[in-house]
Amino acid sequence: MKSGFVSLLGRPNAGKSTLLNRIVGQKLAIVSDKPQTTRTRVVGVKNYPPSPGAASARQAPEGQVVFVDTPGVHKPTHRMNVRMVDVALDAMREVDVLCLVVDASVKAGPGDRYLLDLLKDVKTPAILALNKVDRIAKNRLLPIIDHYRQSHSFVEFVPVSATDGTNVDVLEQLFLQHLPEGEPLYPPEYLTDQTDRFFVSEIVREQVLRLTHDELPHSTAVIVDQFDESQPELLQLYCTILVDRESQKPIVVGKGGAMIKAIGTAARQELMQHFERKVYLDLHVKVRAEWRDDDRFLDELGIERHGR
């Protein structure tokens, strides 16, 4: 029986959240093509049953892996970003296996070298997942693997595609091999530590990221003001979309309210599917200047501090 923590670490937009969702078979972390989408630690738990033909007929897991999706490591410009990077770096020291997720479709840069330098000080076994191999020619893989083999003593190198699932099952088996023996850390039905309120705020933010301009996402947050389950067949949600400048508010609202209506429609469809009931979603936009440097407000958003 294997059991332990695996941290998904990497640069922004490497595909860590897509990989987590693919592994657990359910959407736990929002994804977008914008960097710094993930702002805090997202935990997903997966149980692995015995292999076919195992001696015991009892359906005890062959292993339980607790995956920790982390914010992308980047140069911080606000207190929020400092917290995000701290969460990612803390996860390097508190897990049993590290998985460095690299976007194989783009050339390695200073940020990748910075991460490799950090790994030199960590004794935790590290697996390299070369992600997005569906976007590159196979003959480009070997030089990339050689580059990383010379940069760090990874215990495994796995070309994967979190999008189409290529080699993800191979990666999962390697995680189990390198985890310590132990009993499950969570009950079999446990999936994530994220609350329903957090999930709602993230789904709304995902649609803001998808539908608004590139310059907006970093300065946007979503607060769930009211989560009303008083009616069994209807979930009533009231949320505030925050921006930090007056000039950004019209971008979210749109002409005649078209943009915020589109955000609400898309988010509501996904929330109804998730909660398996009708959803009433009311969205408002407010301006809150410099919220990314307000420690008290960042605490309210659940963006963790260093050491928490």
DSSP for 144-193 reads HHHHHHHH---SEEEE--TTT-TTHHHHHHHHHHHSPB---SS-TT--BS
Mean pLDDT confidence for 18-40: 90
**Whole-number pLDDT of residue 215:** 65
Give a three-class secondary structure readout of 81-116. HHHHHHHHHHHHHCCCEEEEEEECCCCCCHHHHHHH
Burial degree of 236 (CB within 10 A; 0-12, 13-18, 19+): middle
Out of 2.40.50.140, 3.40.50.720, 3.10.180.10, 3.30.300.20, the CATH code matching 196-301 is: 3.30.300.20
CB atoms inside a 10 Å sphere around CB 43 = 19
* Per-residue pLDDT tens digits for 252-301: 999 999 999 999 999 999 999 999 999 999 999 999 999 989 999 888 88
For the chain, which residues make up each domain, given as ranges? 2-178, 196-301
pTM: 0.89
Same fold, 2-178 and 196-301: no
Q: Please, which pLDDT band fits residue 200 given cuts at 50, 70 and 90?
A: very high
Nearest-10 Cα torsion for 73, 134, 43, 193: 130
HSE-up of 230 (CA within 13 Å, CB side)? 4
Q: Beta-carbon neighbour count of residue 81 at 10 Å? A: 19
Answer yes or no: are the C-beta atoms of 128 and 150 closer than 8 Å: no
Q: Model confidence over 88-125: pLDDT tens digits?
A: 888 788 899 999 999 999 998 888 998 898 888 888 99
Cβ atoms of 249 and 243 closer than 8 Å: yes
Q: What pLDDT, in 10s, does the model give residues 145-156?
A: 999 999 999 999
Give the position of tokens 């919220």.
Answer: 291
Strands 221-231 and 234-243, by their bridges, are antiparallel
Q: What pLDDT, on the 0 to 100 scale, is given for residue 109?
A: 87
- Which percentage of the chain shows pLDDT scores above 70? 94
Residue 123 near residue 96, CB atoms below 8 Å = no
Average pLDDT for 202-219: 85
Q: Which of 10, 264, 237, 206 is nearest to 116 (CA)?
A: 10
What does DSSP assign to residue 99? E
Q: What is the CA radius of gyration of the chain?
A: 20
In the DSSP assignment, the letter for residue 255 is: G
Per-residue pLDDT, 60: 43
Q: Which listed CATH number (3.40.50.150, 3.40.50.300, 3.20.20.70, 3.30.300.30) goes with 2-178? A: 3.40.50.300
Is residue 161 pLDDT above 80, yes or no?
yes
Mean pLDDT over each residue of the chain, to the nearest integer = 90
- pLDDT number for residue 308: 47
**pLDDT given for residue 32 in this prediction:** 86
Greater model confidence, 142 or 307? 142
Alpha-carbon gap, residue 81 to 292, rounded angstroms: 8
| Tokens encoding 265 | 């429609």
Can you tell me the distance from the alpha carbon of 291 to that of 105, in angstroms, rounded to the nearest whole number? 34
**DSSP single-letter state for residue 72:** P
Q: What is the pLDDT, as a whole number, of residue 57?
A: 41
pLDDT attached to residue 306: 60
The pLDDT value recorded for residue 58 is 47
Half-sphere exposure of 97 (CA within 13 A, CB side): 27
Q: How far apart are CA 70 and CA 38, in angstroms?
A: 7
Across residues 54-75, what is the average pLDDT? Answer: 74
CA–CA dist 267, 281 (Å, integer): 8
Angular region, 13: left φ>0, alpha ψ -120 to 50, beta rest: left
